[in-house]
């Protein structure tokens, strides 16, 4: 692996980025096309676009949202395996990080944060939470849509699970966007062209860099040369 322009380090593959954005966009469109039923204040969405159109749109987006991760598992296998294995190896280190991270949210620097791997503790929590919430959303959504096939005792619970998961997943996604865009803007490039600034990687994911060096994917010299420019 080579650094790009001696400055940027590849982090995500193109297919992985594509699946991320399909997921993100369909998620937001699903949330806002479902919202009129959860929140009276958003009834105007139905009024402007027509209730039936918005509901049909919700179902079509739902299909995309449902199959997207399965396609991802096949066509961006590396990135998805990484997410799963990172979540599976959640450790005390991650918990300490997440607990101490607070003040960074409002732009203060926290010293003595444990060095982090490919994903930090907060990201791992976010990934795990979204996997669960979106999993329930996708399945309860499909079940609601084809509700003729389900027992009638189940249906009101499906509505309840669907809306609580939508709420949780939406609030979490706002936090995720805030962290990316406001707190660590350096990370956004990773979801645009797939590479991140080496300094950003060093500050936020130093154990990942160490891992790359250990695996021989990048030479220590190249890394140090690139980092030297920042001194």
Partner 1 sequence: MAKEVVMLHDVSRCSGCRACMVACKQWHDLPADMSTEFEGEYQSHKDLTSTTYNLVKFNERLDSKGKFHWDIIKYQCMHCAVPGCAEGCPKHAITKLEHGPVVINEDLCVGCDYCSMNCPFGIPKLDEKKHKSTKCDMCYDRISEGMMPSCAKTCTAQAIDFGYKDKMLEIANKRLAELKAEGHEDACLYGTDGENLTANMIYVLPEKPSVYGLPEQPKVSDGMYLWRDVIKPIGKLASGGALLGLAGMMIVHSMVKSQDEEKNTDEKGDHIKDEADKE
Site string for ligand HEM, 138-177 (x = CB under 6 A): x--xx-xx-------------x--xx--x--xx-------
Q: Which is nearer to partner 1, 109 or 216 (CB)?
A: 109
Q: Binding to partner 1 by residue 44, rule CB under 8 A? A: no
Of 230, 231, 221, 218, the C-alpha closest to 4 is: 218
Q: Rule CB under 8 A: is residue 55 a binding residue for partner 1? A: yes
Q: Which of 188, 217, 224, 225 binds partner 1 (CB under 8 A)?
A: 188
Tokens (6 digits) for 131: 């996997």
Kindly state the tokens that stand for 211.
Answer: 């891992």
Q: How far apart are the first and last CA of the chain?
A: 24
Considering the rule CB under 6 A, would residue 38 count as an interface residue with ligand HEM? yes
**Interacting residues of 73 by C-beta distance below 8 A, sequence separation 6+:** 80
Q: How far is the CB of 100 from ligand HEM (least distance, A)?
A: 30
Contact 73, 66 (CB under 8 A): no
Distance CA 218, CA 48 (A): 54
Residue 129 contacts ligand HEM per CB under 6 A = no
Among 13, 46, 73, 127, binds partner 1 (CB under 8 A): 46
Torsion region of 14: left, alpha or beta (phi above 0 gives left; psi -120 to 50 gives alpha): alpha
Segment lying near partner 1 (by CB under 8 A), choices 33-41, 69-77, 86-94, 214-222: 33-41
List b or e across 165-200, with b for residues whose CB sees 16 or more CB atoms inside 10 angstroms.
Answer: bbebbbebbeebeebbeeebeebebbbeebbbbbeb
Q: Considering only residues 59-88, where is the footprint of ligand HEM by CB under 6 A?
A: 59, 62, 65-66
Question: What is the CA 99 to chain-centroid distance, rounded?
Answer: 19
> In the set 13, 23, 55, 184, which binds ligand HEM (CB under 6 A)?
55
* Positions 70 through 129 that interact with partner 1 (CB under 8 A): 105-108
Question: Binding of partner 1 at residue 230 (CB under 8 A)?
Answer: yes
By rule CB under 6 A, what count of residues binds ligand HEM? 25
| 168: contact with partner 1 by CB under 8 A | yes
**Residue 195 main-chain phi, psi, to 5 deg:** -115, 155
Where along the sequence are the contacts to ligand HEM (CB under 6 A)? 27, 30-31, 34-35, 37-38, 55, 58-59, 62, 65-66, 137-138, 141-142, 144-145, 159, 162-163, 166, 169-170
């Amino acid at each position: 692996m080579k650094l790009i322009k001696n400055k940027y380090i590849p982090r995500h593959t193109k297919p992985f980025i594509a699946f991320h954005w399909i997921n993100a966009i369909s998620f937001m469109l699903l949330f806002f096309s479902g919202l009129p039923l959860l929140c009276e204040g958003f009834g105007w969405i139905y009024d402007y676009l027509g209730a039936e159109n918005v509901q049909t749109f919700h179902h079509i987006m739902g299909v995309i949202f449902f199959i997207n991760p399965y396609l991802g598992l096949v066509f961006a296998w590396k990135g998805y395996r990484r997410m799963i294995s990172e979540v599976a190896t959640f450790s005390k280190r991650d918990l300490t990080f997440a607990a101490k991270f607070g003040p960074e949210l409002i732009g203060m620097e926290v010293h003595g944060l444990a060095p982090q791997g490919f994903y930090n503790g907060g990201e791992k929590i976010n990934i795990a939470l979204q996997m669960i919430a979106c999993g329930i959303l996708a399945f309860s959504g499909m079940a609601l849509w084809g509700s003729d096939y389900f027992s009638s005792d189940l249906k009101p619970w499906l509505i309840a699970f669907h809306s609580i998961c939508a709420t949780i997943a939406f609030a979490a996604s706002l936090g995720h966007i805030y962290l990316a865009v406001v707190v660590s803007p350096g990370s956004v490039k990773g979801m645009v062209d797939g590479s991140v600034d080496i300094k950003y990687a060093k500050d936020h994911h130093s154990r990942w860099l160490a891992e790359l060096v250990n695996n021989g994917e990048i030479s220590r010299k190249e890394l140090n040369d690139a980092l030297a420019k920042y001194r």
